[in-house]
Amino acid sequence: MPTVSIIILNYNTFQLTCNCIESIIEFTKDISYEIILVDNLSNECDADLFKQKFPSINLIKSNENGGFAKGNNLGIQAANGDFILLLNSDTYLIEDAISKTINFYKKENLKGLIGCKMIYPNGKIQHTARKFRSISWELLDVFRFLLYILSYKKRANLMLGKYFKSNFNTECDWLNGAFFMFTKTALVKLPQHKLDERFFMYGEDHLWCWQFQQIGYHSYFYSEAQIVHINNGSTAKSRQLALRNTMLKNELIIMKERVGTGLYFFIFSTIYSAKEKFRIGVNTLIK
């Protein structure tokens, strides 16, 4: 039985996915693993080419493009590992990050989800450990000069996200889904015994972390393992502004689930929507 089942979802990213698989094979030495590749009805090339190139993988060919969550759930159904790792096709390893993360999880006797440090190909840090949004978080983000009265460590712990340099281990509220690890035993305790599929794409990781938290599982960020995440490798640049609107909509759905539809939600949605629409407008003008 493998220690970890690594699930990769492919949709028209053949070369990126091949690079990802090659990096797993090159760097993952300390633990046993299986690679489950789910092809989400790509039309770029024949999915069997993956099997020809990597005979040891478990290739699952979906009969639909059901989105990120549904595709990963197909892979999870075939998983035999104690750990499940959802790994984006536009990532690649530069060290044995998977083994290091699992070994840390076991050593610290953690209970929940864990992610690692991600960087862009140019070395810039990605903000992958985050707090749940709140009215106070949004206001502090607007009046961010107040945050710089605090020491870096206090500011980072309070806000995470873009205020955190990913340079220490910490508990967080939610993790980026590009490297998203949890135990199979945690998954079966979710109400539907699988990941929520209501979002086609974007916002799932946030939603899942909230749902895991409700059954007693926390999210952890591990700074001492690092991967490269190209980001938007499967998304055309012409669609990125439209996807910001999708992320805004999904964020409000999650907040409504967390706090209901009362006054708090109204105030939060007003502040958050105004901020995001301003950013979308600025990006549209820049484009």
> Does residue 11 register a pLDDT over 90?
yes
* pLDDT for res 174: 97
> Does residue 237 register a pLDDT over 80?
no
> Does residue 193 register a pLDDT over 50?
yes
> Does residue 234 register a pLDDT over 50?
no
* pLDDT for res 282: 63
Please write down the HEC assignment for all residues of the chain.
Answer: CCCEEEEEEECCCHHHHHHHHHHHHHHCCCCCEEEEEEECCCCCCCCHHHHHHCCCCEEEECCCCCHHHHHHHHHHHCCCCCEEEEECCCEEECCCHHHHHHHHHHHCCCCEEEEEEEECCCCCECCCEECCCCHHHHHHHHCHHHHHHCCHHHHHHHHEHHHCCCCCCEEECEECCCEEEEEHHHHCCCCCCCCCCCCCCCCHHHHHHHHHHHCCCEEEEEEEEEEEECCCCCCCHHHHHHHHHHHHHHHHHHHHHHHCCCHHHHHHHHHHHHHHHHHHHHHHHHC
User: Over the chain, what is the mean pLDDT?
Assistant: 93
Share of the chain above pLDDT 70, in %: 94
CATH fold of 4-128+166-235, please?
A: Spore Coat Polysaccharide Biosynthesis Protein SpsA; Chain A (3.90.550)
Query: Residues 131-135: what's their mean pLDDT?
Result: 96
> Does residue 233 register a pLDDT over 50?
no
pLDDT tens-digit readout, 204-232 = 999 999 999 999 999 999 999 999 999 86
> Does residue 150 register a pLDDT over 50?
yes
Please state which of the ranges 167-176, 193-202, 210-219 shows the lowest mean pLDDT. 193-202
